[in-house]
Amino acid sequence: MNSARPIFIAGFLLFASFAMAESDGVLSDIPVFQEESLTAGISHVYDGPWEYYVGGGVAAFDCNGDRFPDLALAGGANPASLFLNISKPGSRLKFSEVEDAIPERARTNVTGFYPIDINNDGLKDLVVLRVGKNYLLEAEKDCQFKIANSKYGMDGGREWTTAFSAMFEGKQSFPTLAFGNYVDRSAPGSPWGTCHDNFLFRPKGTVVPQYDEAQVLSPGYCALSIMFTDWNRSGLSDLRITNDRQYYRGGEEQLWRIMPEKPARKYRSAEGWRRVMIWGMGIAETDMDGDGFPEYALTSMGDTKLQTLDGATDDPPRPTYRDIAYEKGATAHRPYAGGEIKPSTGWHAEFSDFNNDGREDLFIAKGNVEAMQDFAEFDPDNLLLMQANGQFREVGNHSGIARSTRGRGAAVVDLNMDGMVDLVVVNRKANASLFRNIGSRKHRGKNTMGNWLGIELNQADQNRDAVGALISIKTGNKVQTRKVQIGGGHASGRLGFLHVGLGVAERASIRIKWPDGEWSHSYRVFANNFVVIKRDSPLANYWYPVQ
């Protein structure tokens, strides 16, 4: 027996226990991020007076046809910017600002951006949320945009707009748009108890969409995030609205029933909707337990809420939600680093699989509103890794994202097409953070975490990105789902490949429930690929990031 061995073993155990303590009981791979905004060429700060304490969104979408996501960043009082992604596959991130991409009028006072193909030409247009007139920007080739408000009959309003969501209803050719508004600054007594109403625009017209008629969703309670969501597996989407209790009186979280060709109305407590009052800043959706009824993460000051449907067993299901954040370890109510005991302030939230282990994790952008003394000043963004036991574990402090920034909007998206999701966070009064995922803590680099897929859907004619589609990914006995959605987050949206982690599975079967409810056949694909699935095509196409 090697006499050095017992000493070696003891030393190893000591090291292992140290490493274990360092990872705080996290058994799965911990992804590590390298912040590269400046070397990548992204110099962008979201700033401004009170109106820009909130907002600060980013749209991640491809505008030059190479499928590498480009970034439109809100600037608030600073001009908004559009950055073209010129990263090489698998390499350090590189962006180049496209100076006049966004028309000048639409570059100022911007709180957020959402990408969507409004006119079905295959190019992703941009919705610009502003303090003041909102703009619909029609995309032209090579990341040029022009204002299309007149063309689309969209007035744009004058409100302080902070939220957006879109969906395609029934067989309509163009999307229904919903705008969420914050405080009505001109109302008497503002801002206390003076929240603006929200608006729903159903398109008219068959050749060019016309959004000249708004349905008012009243009362508004200072929305900071809205999301069309099929919460009850009906095949139809209702509108969830998260509201900031800071300024409302008698307000609450809202779920609006959106019925085809009828005015929308709120779900009432008699129907099962429970009154929840939070400083609602962002909505993220996922189906954690695979029962078809989504769970929702709602960020706030203090506890994050994680809502699951309690009324699922009723027939029809009732919109009664229960908070499971505590039991799942997802409250993220206090900074995990810095030693502050004051509560956190949460903004953008997004579920994604950061370590490709087949379990969706939760990212939350954090940061003090401005100088709120009752809330933590050093408030780093969270990365909650889902473990095999169904619990989230915080790894922000191990993955390199714990910075002293005030995060607002964000996008979780693979920027260098290496199969690992990266992260861009818009920060108030600081440069945007651009985090490249460089692999697991133990072994840096590509192919060091689980297997993955990137999935893009195409349909012909209308709704070309298949907004509203459900993707079902089967590996063995496990099924994960993803939805093509526009909305939620904090003034931030993305459209492109949807990322799925596959763990140790080498292949997967994908089925699509297209927006009109029709299920596709099974597409059999191999892991570690980007796949493009065109409706009615017998086979999936692979896409390769060739430059």
Of 475, 485, 492, 520, the residue at the interface with another protein (CB under 8 A) is 475
The residue among 98, 52, 151 whose CA lies nearest residue 370 is 52
* DSSP secondary structure, 167-204, as one string: E--TT-SS-EEEEEE-B-TTSTTTTTT-BPPEEEE--B
Q: What 8-state DSSP symbol labels residue 45? A: B
Q: Is residue 472 close enough to count as binding another protein by CB under 8 A?
A: no
Q: Does 335 bind another protein (CB under 8 A)?
A: no
Q: Which CA distances in Å does 163 have to 9, 236, 298, 369, 489?
A: 56, 21, 14, 17, 9
Q: Which of 23, 29, 464, 515 binds another protein (CB under 8 A)?
A: 29
Nearer of residues 158 and 446 to another protein, judged by Cβ: 446
Instruction: Read off the DSSP letter of residue 206.
Output: S
State the DSSP code for 310. G
CB of 542 to another protein, least distance (A): 5
Query: Quick one: 299 or 459, whose CB is closer to another protein?
Result: 459
What lies within 8 Å, CB to CB, of 206 at 6+ separation is 173
The sign of the torsion formed by the CA atoms of 459, 463, 465, 468 equals negative
Q: Which of residues 188-227 bind another protein (CB under 8 A)?
A: none
Position 64 contacts another protein (CB under 8 A): no
> What is the total count of residues that contact another protein (CB under 8 A)?
50
Tokens of 299: 């960020």
Judged by CB under 8 A, which stretch of 53-61, 218-226, 261-269, 472-480 contacts another protein? Answer: 472-480
CB of 520 to another protein, least distance (A): 17
Residue 419 in the binding site for another protein (CB under 8 A): no
Q: Quick count: other Cβ atoms within 10 Å of Cβ 23?
A: 18
Nearer to another protein, 163 or 438 (CB): 438
Residues 514 and 466: beta-carbon distance below 8 Å: yes
User: Which residue's CB is nearer to another protein, number 20 or number 187?
Assistant: 20
Question: Should residue 414 be labelled a site residue for another protein when binding is judged by CB under 8 A?
Answer: no
319 binding another protein? (CB under 8 A): no
Residue from 7, 326, 504, 521 touching another protein (CB under 8 A): that is: 504
Among 429, 507, 511, 516, binds another protein (CB under 8 A): 507
Q: What are phi and psi of 325, to 5 degrees?
A: -60, -45
- Counting contacts by CB under 8 A, is residue 151 touching another protein? no
- Residues in CB range of 65: below 8 A, 6 or more apart: 141
Residues 381-400 that bind another protein (CB under 8 A): 387-389
Stretch of 70-78, 250-258, 302-310, 532-540 lying at the interface with another protein (CB under 8 A) = 532-540
Residues 6 or more apart whose CB falls under 8 angstroms from that of 467 comprise: 116, 166, 167, 168, 175, 484, 485, 486, 515
**Shortest Cβ distance from residue 447 to another protein (Å)?**
5
Q: Which is nearer to another protein, 313 or 547 (CB)?
A: 547
Does 3 sit near another protein (CB under 8 A)? Answer: no
H helices then E strands: how many in the chain? 4, 38
Sites of contact with another protein (CB under 8 A): 1-2, 27-29, 65-67, 356-357, 387-389, 439, 442-443, 445-451, 475-478, 502-507, 524-529, 532, 538-547
